[in-house]
Amino acid sequence: MSDSSDPRDGRPSPRWLTAVAWLLVGAPLAWGVYTTLAKAALLFK
Amino acid sequence: MAGILSKERIIARPGFNRWLVPPAALAIHLSIGMAYGFSVFWLPLSKAVGITRSVPCPEGMSFLERLVATTCDWKISTLGWMFTLFFVFLGSSAALFGAWLEREGPRKAGAVAACCWGGGFLVSALGVYLHQIWLMWIGSGVIGGVGLGLGYISPVSTLIKWFPDRRGMATGMAIMGFGGGAMIGSPLADILMKHYATPTDVGVWQTFLTMGLIYFVAMMAGAFGYRLPPEGWRPAGWTPPVQQAAMITTRHVHVNEAWKTPQFWLLWAVLWLNVSAGIGVIGMASPMIQEVFGGRLIHLPGVPFRALSEPQKQQLATLGAAFAALLSVFNIAGRIFWASLSDYLGRQRTYFVFFGLGTLLYALAPTAGRAGSVALFVAIFCVILTMYGGGFATIPAYLADMFGTRYVGAIHGRLLTAWSAAGILGPVLVNYIREYQLDRGVPAAQAYNITMYVLAGLLVVGFFCNLAVRPVAERHFLREGEPEPAWVPAPREAAVKRA
């Protein structure tokens, strides 16, 4: 997500960039939630 | 470097996808959210000298001597001061630097936050390596605490400007990250400490070093991902409602004017009371479920906590940790759920739900405990924790509705002092009431009942504070064409005004 060479070039942001950005934050968060839920599952055993 | 970080450099080009901004905000909030997970370090750090067991300091050693002692281990209670430093410096730096953030832009604030939070870890690594706790307090507590405050408020006004149609959801996404940071950071720290541990080292300083670098890179990436919308930008196909709701302004109140309004202080009280109640529960969740249900948790109904054997208490401790983990999931889920719902329900109504439903649930908790219904008890606190998280995530949008979007980051920063105050009130209230009850011979299973009713009382007060919130008076708003007031009056100017 670096600065565009021409900040007013008007091209839409590429979709892959948005997908990668969400993946980079979503994957660790999903791992964290999974790990926590696995720990919490003991409560229901 | 300053040019790259400047506000002018991050005005988005036409065609920029606004959905790139929330991941940038999340990168910062997920990093600083590790503040909640610092307790993962306490046990290994309490054995940093003895490795397999904690080496106590000699009797009679003074507090100052303990601060620099390298031959005995730190107590967990001493290490726990880190949390106090976090919340005090988070609140105070957000309040002090909020106006600077609005002036200089979110990228510079995010970059400074990355230096402080990541750098704080590095100073702490040195503190652990040299076994000097004061270095840890300064590193992670003070420097890191400033990074927490700056990082926390850095995306707020930017997200609100990008998502005028869904302010609650946008800030909810970022603030959800703060709740989720410990879920990533704690297991990661655990893995790293196991990796670095040797027969002569608990592996903590190496873990601090590694995590400091990871957080610095992640937060810098987030800071460089921030973009500001051009002046007057609106989402495609969206027009502001013609019939504007009375509680949503399209104008702006300056940060220095905002805190002279009753609305600011009412919202301060709303946040303070909601957070105080929730923080109290978070702090006591694990011991509470163990003491309330005792043997029932391990299929020994009727056996109170104190009558259990040590191995049975160990089993209960595991279940207590599982309960705390479950609450943390509901805490982050509530942030995105309630903040998004507030876009449809309205901010004031959402807080009415928090305070109304919260009061009911706190008052019901002792009944669930007496009835021995673990499922109902757990469900009650899961819902309560969603509203604790929801309170944090909805407040920036509430402020933007009341005071406008221009200075909302700075106003939010000042409001976060309520969080610092709640960090003191909540745990103190809960711990002291519990101790008082136990000292008077109340069984451990019932020692939390009064606490629950007191917390319900706090929420009743919060309900009325929220009820008293009305639109901001006309005289507080900036007038069209009026030059923007100075952020902070120069001392001489202020003196002349007072004269």
pLDDT tens by residue, chain B, 499 residues: 558 999 999 999 999 999 999 999 999 999 999 998 998 999 999 999 999 999 999 988 998 999 999 999 998 888 888 888 888 899 999 999 999 999 999 999 999 999 999 999 999 999 999 999 999 999 999 999 999 999 999 999 899 999 999 999 999 999 999 999 999 999 999 999 999 999 999 999 999 999 999 999 999 999 999 999 998 899 988 888 766 677 888 889 999 999 899 999 999 999 999 999 998 888 788 888 998 999 999 988 888 888 999 899 899 989 998 998 999 999 999 999 999 999 999 999 999 999 999 999 999 999 999 999 999 999 999 999 999 999 999 999 999 999 999 999 999 999 999 998 888 888 888 888 888 888 888 888 888 889 899 999 999 999 999 999 999 999 999 987 666 655 544 444 444 443 3
Q: Answer yes or no: is pLDDT of A9 > 70.
A: no
Q: Mutate which of B17, B178, B226, B382 to disrupt the A interface (most A C-beta within 10 Å)?
A: B17
* Residue contact B329–A1, C-beta within 8 A: no
Say how many C-beta atoms besides its own lie within 10 A of residue B256's C-beta: 17
3-state secondary structure B100-150: HHHHHCHHHHHHHHHHHHHHHHHHHHHHHHHCCHHHHHHHHHHHHHHHHHH
Using the structure block, give the residue that is written with the tokens 């990796």.
B195
pLDDT at A43: 85
3-state class of B228 per DSSP? strand
User: Rounded to whole angstroms, how far apart are CA atoms B10 and B250?
Assistant: 24
What residues contact residue B497 under an 8 Å CB cut-off, 6+ apart?
B489
* Residue contact B184–A28, C-beta within 8 A: yes
On chain B, the residues whose CB falls within 8 A of the CB of A22 are 19, 23
Q: Give kind and range of the element (H or E) at residue B160.
A: helix B156-162
pLDDT at B355: 98
Cβ-nearest to A1 among B14, B224, B319: B224
Contact B362, B259 (CB under 8 A): no
User: Rounded to whole angstroms, how far apart are CA atoms B270 and B280?
Assistant: 16
Cβ-nearest to A42 among B9, B12, B318: B318
* Residue contact B328–A36, C-beta within 8 A: yes
pLDDT at B246: 77
User: Rounded to whole angstroms, how far apart are CA atoms B260 and B450?
Assistant: 36
Contact B33, A34 (CB under 8 A): no
On chain A, the residues whose CB falls within 8 A of the CB of B20 are 1, 13, 17-18, 21
Using the structure block, give the residue that is written with the tokens 């006309």.
B474
* Residue contact A33–B17, C-beta within 8 A: no
Q: Which pair of tokens denotes residue B486?
A: 């100075």
User: Rounded to whole angstroms, how far apart are CA atoms A12 and B13?
Assistant: 9
pLDDT at B2: 58
Using the structure block, give the residue that is written with the tokens 């670098």.
B213
User: Rounded to whole angstroms, how far apart are CA atoms B448 and B433?
Assistant: 8
Nearest to B407 by CA among B417, B398, B418, B399: B399
pLDDT at B257: 94
At A12-45, the pLDDT tens digits run 889 999 999 999 999 999 999 999 999 999 888 7
DSSP B11: B
Give A2's pLDDT tier (boundaries 50, 70, 90): very low
pLDDT at A37: 94
Contact B322, B375 (CB under 8 A): no
User: Rounded to whole angstroms, how far apart are CA atoms B472 and B330?
Assistant: 33
Helix, strand and coil percent figures for chain B, each rounded to 5: 75, 0, 25
pLDDT at B376: 95
User: Rounded to whole angstroms, how far apart are CA atoms B19 and B247?
Assistant: 27
Nearest to A12 by CA among B155, B218, B12: B12
ipTM here: 0.86
* Residue contact A29–B326, C-beta within 8 A: no
pLDDT at B368: 93
Cβ-nearest to B23 among A24, A31, A42: A24
pLDDT at B83: 83
User: Rounded to whole angstroms, how far apart are CA atoms B462 and B398?
Assistant: 15
Using the structure block, give the residue that is written with the tokens 């990228």.
B107
**Rounded mean pLDDT, A1-17:** 64
Largest pairwise CA distance in chain A: 58
Q: Kindly provide the b/e burial profile for residues B154-187, where b requires at least 16 CB atoms within 10 angstroms of the residue's own CB.
A: bbbbbbbbbbbebbbbbbbbbbbbbbbbbbbbbb
* Residue contact A2–B9, C-beta within 8 A: no
* Residue contact A43–B323, C-beta within 8 A: yes
Q: Which pair of tokens denotes residue B342?
A: 């507030």
Nearest to B248 by CA among B400, B406, B465, B476: B400
pLDDT at A22: 97
Q: Across the strands, what pairs with B201?
A: B198
Q: Answer yes or no: is pLDDT of A7 > 50.
A: no
User: Rounded to whole angstroms, how far apart are CA atoms B20 and B226?
Assistant: 8
DSSP B242: S
CA distance B9 to chain A (A): 8
Q: Which domains does chain B have, with CATH numbers?
A: 2-53+65-225 (1.20.1250.20), 255-476 (1.20.1250.20)
pLDDT at B244: 66
Please count the helices (runs of H) and the strands (runs of E) in chain A: 1, 0
pLDDT at B446: 85
Cβ neighbourhood burial of B265 (10 Å; 0-12, 13-18, 19+): middle
On chain B, the residues whose CB falls within 8 A of the CB of A27 are none
CA B410 to chain centre: 17
Q: Across the strands, what pairs with B477?
A: B253
pLDDT at B80: 83
Region for residue B441 given its phi and psi (left: phi exceeds 0; alpha: psi -120 to 50; beta: otherwise) = left
Cβ-nearest to B15 among A1, A10, A18: A10
What residues contact residue B349 under an 8 Å CB cut-off, 6+ apart?
B342
pLDDT at B431: 80
Q: Mutate which of B5, B6, B7, B20 to disrupt the A interface (most A C-beta within 10 Å)?
A: B20
Contact B324, A38 (CB under 8 A): no
